[in-house]
Structure 1
Amino acid sequence: MITKYQDLARIGNIKPSRFTASVSVILYFYFFLGGLIVSIPMIYVLITNQDALFDPILRTDAMGFLNKYISPVTNYIFTNLSIYFMLFGAVIAVKWIHKRPFGTIFNYRGKIRWSNFWIGFAVFGLLLAAGTGADYFLNPGTYTFSFDASRFWYTLPLILVMTPIQTTAEEVVFRGYVIQSFGVKIKSGVLLSVISGVLFTLPHLANPEVYASNKLGVFSTVCMVLNYFVTGMVLAMITIRTNSLEAAMGAHAVNNLFCFLLVSYPDTVLPTNTVFFTSTFEPIGGLVSAVITSALFYLLTVFIIKKTDKTTIATQP
């Protein structure tokens, strides 16, 4: 019986042609179909609003155009829907191309172990809260109370439902499918984690945070990019170490919920009404925080899961 997470692809068909077909399907669903979905609001604005069609900002600042003519809620919905298409592609790839149960993306049991999800959710959430609290203590002047009841409660159900699905889609592809696919040939957990971190970083290079960091210099941009890499790598490490995807799913979900509901910052990829807003955007400090948070998350989560679910912990990182 195959129980090691990075070996689970062997349950299904692992011919090279199957991986080629699967990657093609996932990319098609994400970039083409998902791209069509996310462009619907912009196309609608350009058709119905002549001022928008001839606005110079359309040629110089696409993100500024979206923020000017498309409501944050609409942008949030269609961006998430585009990522859902990536998940559809992954389901097709695993179930019908590789011909193995889709549940093996999560663990060898084939079913989500929710206790591990909530452990990852709680540990990462508490670390985020502690880090934000420390930052507020050091820089209280950068935080403002931005809570708008009418907007917050209106979008809360939407965010609570759509965000965990979005983060799960990314975990299924960038952790689950990537680790298991490369695991057919690569045995090193560290190397698999690096590959996952790199591939997770690539689509995030289009985020407005990266463009904003360019204004602060090359080193800040590098730190911003490394922020995504560190996060992606540690989520891969915890997936391999616990032989399951659930803890990474929980951590990713609480990270995005924290950003969309509690504390926002300038140039965030999906602006929503949060309880607090911080005017500080420091990629260097953010990277330091990400490294510390990731290290603590890994150590604490492995320790807790080892105590509560001894059947899932791998013997090697």
Structure 2
Amino acid sequence: MISKYQNLGQIGNNRPARFVAASAVILYFYFILGGIVASVPMIYAIVRNPYSIYDPLLQENAIEFMGKYVNPVANYIFSNLAIYFMLAGAFIAIKWIHNRPFGSVFNNRGKLKWSNFWIGFAVFGILLAIGTGVDYIFNPGTYKLSFDSSKFWYTLPLILIMTPIQTTTEEIVFRGYIIQSFGLKVKNGLLLSVISGVVFTLPHLANPEVYASNKLGVFSTICMILNYFVVGMVLAMITIRTNSLEAAMGAHAVNNLFCFLLVSYPDTALPTNTVFYTTNFDPVSGLVSVIITAGLFYAATAFVIKKTDKTMDGNRHILN
């Protein structure tokens, strides 16, 4: 009977060759198949506007290029669909290559515990709101109301449906599969969290925020990169601490929903019409904020889940 989250990788076939095959499938589905899907809007833009290939933005800033030639809603949809291919690859890898229940990636019960999801969602959401409020107090001139009712209500259903699937996919791969795979050899929870944070950071290095921070200097770029690492690490830590993936799923979901619906900023990866827009892009102060938020999130979420678990009959282990 397995109780620790990081040991759930022991279930099923965990021979080294299986991990090589599983990783290859996940990478193929994400980078090859997903990459083809993600490139559809850009290909459409170039076909419809042949002279756009001479636009300097195509080489200098792909996000601005897409915003100029492609409907942002279409770009949002295809970008998310590309990540869904990673989910398909993860499902195949866990279910049929490792021959273990897909539910084991969430916890040792084999099914989602929604209370943990909503705890992570609520705690991280509250901390985001407080952090944004503090930033507004110190930088009120950088915020403006950007709400456009026709665009907002049109995209709201898409964002509410597609974003949680996207964030859950990333949690399944970058937290669940990574922690459980490395957990077969690495027993230290902090080291596992560091590994998860590093792997989570790697694909985000291509985000436009990193490119934008590079214009501000090397130190700003390092801080921007560390933003991703700290988030990835603390989500891994809370996953290991609570022996379940749901709290990290909730936190990741509310973070992205907050960025896509409430407050946007320059050079965001997927521009959408939000209620507010801030021009304040400071990776250094952002890193300080992320570290504080991450620490408070970990402490509060671990405390609340521990208290609720005492009153719930949720400690049965059905995977063995």
> TM-score, normalised on structure 1?
0.97
The separation in 1 between residues aligned to 2:157 and 2:206, in whole angstroms, is 27
Q: 1:241 aligns to what?
A: 241
Aligned position for 2:271: 271
Please give the alpha-carbon distance, in whole angstroms, between the structure 2 residues aligned to 1:57 and 1:40.
Answer: 18
Between the aligned partners of 1:11 and 1:135, the Cα distance in structure 2 is 46
Which whole-Å CA distance do the structure 2 matches of 1:54 and 1:136 have between them? 40
One-letter amino acid of the counterpart of residue 122, structure 1: A
Aligned match of 2:90: 90
SS of 2:144 mapped into structure 1: strand
DSSP-derived class of the 1:281 partner: coil
Q: What is aligned with 2:210?
A: 210
2:198 maps to 198
- In the alignment, which residue of structure 1 is the partner of 2:219? 219
Residue 298 (structure 1) shift: 0.2
The yes-or-no answer on 1:75 pairing with 2:98 is no
CA contact (8 A) 2:63 2:267 kept: no
Unaligned runs of 5+ in 2: 316-320
Q: CA deviation at 1:136?
A: 0.7
Equivalent residue for 1:253?
A: 253
Please identify runs of 4+ aligned residues in structure 1 that moved more than 3 A: none
Where 2:191 maps in the other structure, the secondary structure is helix
Cα separation, 2, equivalents of 1:139 and 1:145: 14
Contact 2:18 2:97 in 1 (8 A): yes
Paired AA for residue 149 in structure 2:
A
CA distance in 2, matches of 1:187, 1:303: 23
Query: Partner amino acid for 1:2?
Result: I
For residue 315 of structure 1, what is the aligned residue in structure 2? none
Alignment partners' CA distance in 2, 1:175 and 1:125: 20
Q: Which residue of 2 aligns with 1:303?
A: 303
Partner in structure 2 of residue 154 of structure 1: 154
CA-CA distance at 1:54 after TM superposition = 3.2
Partner residue of 2:318? none
**Mapping for residues 133-144 of structure 1, pairs under 5 Å:** 133-144=133-144
CA shift digits 1:109-150 (9 cap, x unpaired): 000000000000000000000000111111111110110000
State whether residues 230 and 290 of structure 2, in contact with CA within 8 Å, keep that contact through their aligned partners in structure 1.
yes
The answer to which of 133-142 and 224-233 deviates more is 133-142
Per the TM alignment, residue 11 of structure 1 is displaced from its structure 2 partner at its CA by: 1.1
Question: What is the CA–CA distance in structure 2 between the aligned matches of 1:92 and 1:37, rounded to whole Å?
Answer: 19
Secondary structure at 1:223 match in 2: helix
Deviations 1:64-113 (A, max 9, x none): 21121111111110110000100100000000000000000000000000
**C-alpha distance after superposition, 1:242-287 (max 9, x if no partner):** 0000000000000000000000001111010000011100000000
SS of the aligned residue for 2:99 comes to: coil
Taking the aligned partners of 1:191 and 1:127, their CA distance within structure 2 comes to 26
Which amino acid in 2 is paired with 1:98?
A: H
1:203-237 CA-to-partner distances (Å, cap 9, x unmatched) read 00000000000111000000000000000000000
Do the aligned partners of 2:164 and 2:253 also contact (CA within 8 Å) in 1? yes
Report the Cα offset of residue 44 of structure 1: 1.6
- In 1, the alpha carbon distance for the partners of 2:296 and 2:60 equals 41
Deviation at 1:43, TM superposition (A): 1.1
Q: Which amino acid aligns with 2:218?
A: V
The secondary structure found in structure 2 opposite 1:79 is helix
Superposed displacement of residue 40, structure 1? 0.7
Provide the TM-score with structure 2 as the length reference.
0.96
Match of 1:167?
A: 167
Provide the alpha-carbon RMSD of the alignment.
0.9
For residues 18 and 291 of structure 2, what CA distance do their matches in structure 1 show?
36
Q: Distance in 2 between matches of 1:252 and 1:236?
A: 11
CA distance in 1, matches of 2:238, 2:285: 24
State the Cα deviation string for residues 165-196 of structure 1 (Å, max 9, x = none): 00000000000000000000000000000000
CA 1:57 to 1:139, structure 2 compared with 1: closer, same or farther past 3 Å?
A: closer
CA contact (8 A) 2:266 2:281 kept: yes
Cα distance, 1:59 vs. partner? 3.1
1:63 Cα offset (Å): 2.4
2:35 equivalent in structure 1: 35
CA distance in 2, matches of 1:295, 1:56: 42
Aligned counterparts, 1:285-296, within 5 A: 285-296=285-296
